[in-house]
Structure 1
C-alpha cells in the first residue's frame, strides 16, 4: 500500500468529505479535499502528490462526468486514477461512469472495504 500519495476527495457536500476523510485517515491514508471540480483541478496543479481522486458525480457547476473527461484530456491530470463515487446505483450508472473515464466506481452508501480495495488497485 503506497500511503505516500494523497487521496483527493472532490465532493460538493462537506459532510460526505468529512465521512470519507475520517474513514480513510483511520486506514492511514492521507487525504485532501475540494468542494468543486475546479477547486480540485487547482489542487492537482499545485500538488504533485495526488495519487488518486475520489470524484462525486452529482455536483453543481461541473458534474463528475464532465470533470473526469476534462482530467483525462489534460496532460497534468490524465494519469491520475479517478474513482467515481455516486448515489446513482441504477443499472447502467457504473458503465456511464467508466465510459466518462473513471478508473473505478462505487455507489453510496460506500462499502469501505470495497473503496480501500479500489484505492489500492488505483495506486499501484
Structure 2
C-alpha cells in the first residue's frame, strides 16, 4: 500500500512544515493550496492514501470539500484527516460528522498525527 499523503492547506508555511515532518517519517507528500486543486489532484493521482485537509480555507472550505468528495465515486473512499486551528468544544465532532476520518488541531502534535496516519496508510 502506498504512503502518499495529500496536504490541502491555503497557507504554504503549514504545507512546508507538514511536508518536512512527514517526509522525515517516510511519507511521500503532495500538496494543494485550495480545495479545488486538491480534489483535481485526487482525481489524477490514484496513489493518494490519505488527505490532510485544512478546514478553514477561502473559496471552498474543508467541510464543502469533503461534501464534494463524498459525491465522487472515484475518490470518496479516501480518508480525510481534518486539520484545524479551531479547537473549540464541538469542532472535532463537527469535522467527524462532516465525513472526516480523523481530526488534529493546530499546532499539530506530530505523534498524534503520525498515529492517525498509520491507521490509514
Please tell me the TM-score bracket, short chain as reference: over 0.9
Q: Counterpart of 1:73? A: 71
Measured on the aligned residues, the alpha-carbon RMSD in Å equals 0.8
Q: CA deviation at 1:122?
A: 1.8
The C-alpha deviation readout for 1:92-124, integer Å capped at 9, x for no partner, is: 00000001100000000000000001111122x
Q: Which runs of 5+ in 2 are unaligned?
A: none
Q: Counterpart of 1:107? A: 105
Q: Counterpart of 2:60? A: 62
The C-alpha deviation readout for 1:73-107, integer Å capped at 9, x for no partner, is: 21011100000000000000000000110000000
Distance 1:72 1:46 in 2: 16
Task: Say how many residue pairs are matched.
Answer: 121
Distance 1:50 1:20 in 2: 16
Q: Counterpart of 2:46? A: 48
Conserved 8 A contact 1:103-1:122: no
Q: Which runs of 5+ in 1 are unaligned?
A: none
Compute the TM-score of the two structures, normalised by the length of structure 2. 0.97
Compute the TM-score of the two structures, normalised by the length of structure 1. 0.95
Q: Which aligned segments of 4 or more residues in structure 1 are displaced greater than 4 angstroms?
A: none
Alignment of 1:1-124 (within 5 A): 2=1, 4-123=2-121
Distance 2:71 2:104 in 1: 23
Q: CA deviation at 1:46?
A: 0.8
